[in-house]
Structure 1
Amino acid sequence: MTTSPPEYLEKNNLSEDGMKLLSILPKEKGWLGSYAYNYQGFWVPQKFLQAVIAFQQQFQAQDSDIILVTTPKSGTTWLKSLLFALVNRVKHPILEPNHPLLIENPHVLVPFLEHTLYFDGRTDDISTFTSPRLLATHVPFASLPKSVQVSKSKLVYLCRNPRDTFISMWHFTNSLLPDHKEADSIEEMFNLFCKGVSLYGPFWNHVLDYWKKSIEKPNKILFLMYEEIKKKPKIQLKRLADFLECPFSIEEENSGVVDDILNMCSFENLSNLEVNRNGKFSTGEAYKVFFRRGEIGDWKNYFTIEMCNKLNHIVEEKFQGSGLKFSYV
C-alpha cells in the first residue's frame, strides 16, 4: 500500500552533501510510505537525517545539561513534563496558576535537539538557554555528539515494553496521515518493526546500548522504564530527583510536592489542558496526537498469538543475558 507522508517528512531543503549521503545509505520502505535510511546503524527518515547530522556536528554539551533520551513512543511527553516540573519547582512552584506546563506543551518546554533545534536547517542558539538546559533526543548512545558522551551532562533514558511501543507508534504514525488516506496496515508495520526498521531502531539495539551504558556509568545515565513509573510513580520520581542531584526535602515530601507534581503531570490533566487539546507545532502537527491512552497492555487489543510469538522470540534472543526484563501488564 502506498501513502503520502506528511509534508514535514518530505525530502526538501537537503544540502548537496545530504543528497549524496542519501544516495549511498541502505534504505527500506519506512512508516507512512516514506523511506527510512540506515545511518550509523539506526533507521531515520530522510527528513530527519540532516538534522541528526547537524546535531552531531554542532551541539556542544555543557556539564549542567540534562538530556532526556527515549525510544520513540515510550512515554516521552509524560517524562518531559515530570522532568520540567521537578527541575524547575523552585522557579515555578507547582501550584502557581500560570505554571508553564499549564500553558505550553511539554515538547516546547523540553525541545528535541534533532527534531526541533536542528530541524530543517535551523541553527537555534541554545547557548542562551537557562542552566540547566533541559533537552531531548532519540539518537542512540554511540551516535551522540562526543561532547555529550564525555561531559558531566546527565542522561535520563526511558523505554517501554516493545509490544506497547509498537502499538503506540502505529497509532501515532497513522494519526499523522491526511484524513483521506488509508491507515498503514498493522501487519505491514509489525513486520518492519520486527526487522528493526522503526524510528531510530532497531528497538533492541537502542535499548540495550543505553542499558549497558547505564550499568557502566550509573552517575551519567539513569535508566527508567515506563511501566515502573506507572506502577510506582512516587518512588521513580524521587529516584529521578536523586539522580539529578535535586532531591526532595523532608519538608517538600510532607507538604505534598511529590504528589502535586505527579497530579499536574498526569495523563488526565495534561491531555485535557486547552493548549494540548487545540495547540499545534509550527509543522502543523496537533499537540493532541501525543496524548492517546497512556496505558500498559493496550497491545492486547491488537496482537494476535502469532505476533506475540514472533516478537517474543526476537526479544528473548536480543536481550538474552542482559538482565533486562519487560513488563507487559
Structure 2
Amino acid sequence: MSEETKIVIDSHEQLLLSLPKTNGWLGDIYLYQGFWCPSKILTNIISLQKHYQAHDQHILLASTPKSGLTWLKALVFSITNRVTYTLSATPLLTSNPHELVPFLEFTLYAHNKIPEINSTSDISLSPRLFSTHIPYVSLPESVKHSNCRVIYICRNPFDSLVSFWHFATGEGRLKYTMEEYAEKFCEGEVGFGPFWDHILGFWKESLEKPEKVLFLKYENLKEDPVFHVKKLAEFVGFPFSLEEEKQGVVEEIIKLCSLKNLKELEVNKNGKFMPNFRNKSYFRKGEVGDWVNHLSPSMVERLKKVMQEKLSNSGLTFKAVLC
C-alpha cells in the first residue's frame, strides 16, 4: 500500500468517526452535508466534489434511486446521439444505459480515480453525459457556476419507495420488511435521502433557473412521452426538425427506450454494469400507481402525512398519490 493511499484511507476513517450514522442496505450510511451517504462511496463523492470541473457542454442527469434514471439515460443518450448512430445500430442495443451515461460517484470517481472527463479520445465518455444521485446542494461548485445543464427526474414517493424495496431485496441486500423500510423512508434515513430534501433541492433550482435545471416527473413522462421527449431535446440543444417529426423519429426513440424493449435485450437480461448489480434488476414494472398493491393502509397514511408536511407550500404535487 502506497503512503498516499494510506493517507486517504486514514482520512476517510477519521471522517466517518465524526459523522452521525445509521444502517443502510449496503452497510452503514453516514450523514454528510445533510444527506445520508453510503460509506463505500463517500470518498468518491469527496473526490468528485474536489476535482470534477463541469463545462458548459456537459449534461448531468440526476435523481433519487429508483425514480426513472435508467429510462432518462436511454432517452437522452438516444436524443443526443441520433446523428452519430442510427437507431438500428445504437450502442443502447448492446450496452446498459448506465454504461453509456456513467455515474460520477459510483463509476468515474471510484477507486481513487480522477478521470480526464474532457478527453474526446475516450469513447466511453462521449458525448458528455453524466449522472448522479447526489443532492443539488452537494454537487460540485463547478456544476452550479457553469452553464452545465441538469435534468432531474422525480417519481412519486409511493412508487419510488416500492421500486427501491424490490430492487434492493431482489439483489439480496435489504433485510427490512416493506413496513420497516417505509418507516426508514419516512424518516429520511435512506441512501441519498431524505427523499424530500433531495427533490425539493432540484425543484427550487428548476424554478429559479429553468434554463439550467429541467425538472421532470416520471408520471408525466409516462402520460405524454412525445411532448416530454421533444422538451428534453430542446433543453439539451438537440431539437427535432420538422422532417424528423414527420418521419416519426420521436416515436421511434420512445419505442427503443421503452422498458418493454430494453428489458428484452440480451445485455439487460444477463449483464452487469457494476460488480454488485445485475442489469436486469433495473427493469421491473415501471408502472405508475403500482404502490397500491404493496403498501398497507397504515403505511399509506404515514407516508401521506409526511409528504404533506415536507412538501406543503412548495408547489410540488403528485397526481399519482392523490387517490
Q: What TM-score, normalized by structure 2, do the two folds share?
A: 0.93
Tell me how far 1:223 sits from its aligned partner.
Answer: 0.3
Partner of 1:188: 180
Partner of 1:56: 49
> What is the count of residue pairs matched by the alignment?
312
Mapping 1:100-249, distance limit 5 Å: 100-129=91-120, 132-177=127-172, 183-249=175-241
Partner of 1:5: none
Tell me how far 1:62 sits from its aligned partner.
Answer: 1.0
Tell me how far 1:197 sits from its aligned partner.
Answer: 0.8
Residue deviations 1:271-305 (CA, integer Å, cap 9, x gap): 00001101113414211011111111111111111
Contact 2:30/2:36 (CA < 8 Å) preserved in 1?
A: yes
| Structure 1 residue runs of 4 or more that deviate by more than 4 Å after TM superposition | 129-132
Partner of 2:281: 289
- The unaligned stretches of length 5 or more in structure 1 are 1-11
Tell me how far 1:215 sits from its aligned partner.
Answer: 0.5
More deviation, 79-88/120-129:
120-129
Change (3 A) 1:22 1:66: same
For the pair 1:28 / 2:22, whether they are aligned, the reply is yes
* 1:224 alignment partner, SS class: strand
Tell me how far 1:247 sits from its aligned partner.
Answer: 1.0
Q: Give 2:31's match in structure 1, choosing from 38, 41, 48.
A: 38
CA distance in 1, matches of 2:213, 2:71: 19
Partner of 1:18: 12
Partner of 2:249: 257
Contact 2:44/2:106 (CA < 8 Å) preserved in 1?
A: yes
Letter in 2 for 1:106: P
Note the aligned Cα RMSD (angstroms).
1.7
Tell me how far 1:123 sits from its aligned partner.
Answer: 2.5
Contact 1:37/1:44 (CA < 8 Å) preserved in 2?
A: yes
Partner of 1:323: 315
Q: Give 1:311's match in structure 2, choosing from 280, 291, 303.
A: 303
Tell me how far 1:84 sits from its aligned partner.
Answer: 0.1
Tell me how far 1:122 sits from its aligned partner.
Answer: 2.5
Tell me how far 1:162 sits from its aligned partner.
Answer: 0.2
* 2:319 alignment partner, SS class: coil
Contact 1:65/1:131 (CA < 8 Å) preserved in 2?
A: no
Tell me how far 1:184 sits from its aligned partner.
Answer: 2.5
For the pair 1:88 / 2:96, whether they are aligned, the reply is no
Tell me how far 1:14 sits from its aligned partner.
Answer: 6.5
Contact 2:96/2:273 (CA < 8 Å) preserved in 1?
A: no
CA distance in 2, matches of 1:88, 1:70: 22
Change (3 A) 1:131 1:287: closer
Partner of 1:74: 67
Tell me how far 1:327 sits from its aligned partner.
Answer: 2.5
Tell me how far 1:87 sits from its aligned partner.
Answer: 0.6
CA distance in 2, matches of 1:65, 1:256: 27
CA distance in 1, matches of 2:269, 2:14: 41
Letter in 1 for 2:248: G
CA distance in 1, matches of 2:8, 2:219: 39
Partner of 2:3: none
Identity of aligned residues (%): 47
* 1:323 alignment partner, SS class: coil
Residue deviations 1:72-98 (CA, integer Å, cap 9, x gap): 10011111000000011111122x3x3
CA distance in 1, matches of 2:135, 2:264: 32
Contact 1:241/1:247 (CA < 8 Å) preserved in 2?
A: yes
Q: What TM-score, normalized by structure 1, do the two folds share?
A: 0.91
Partner of 2:268: 276
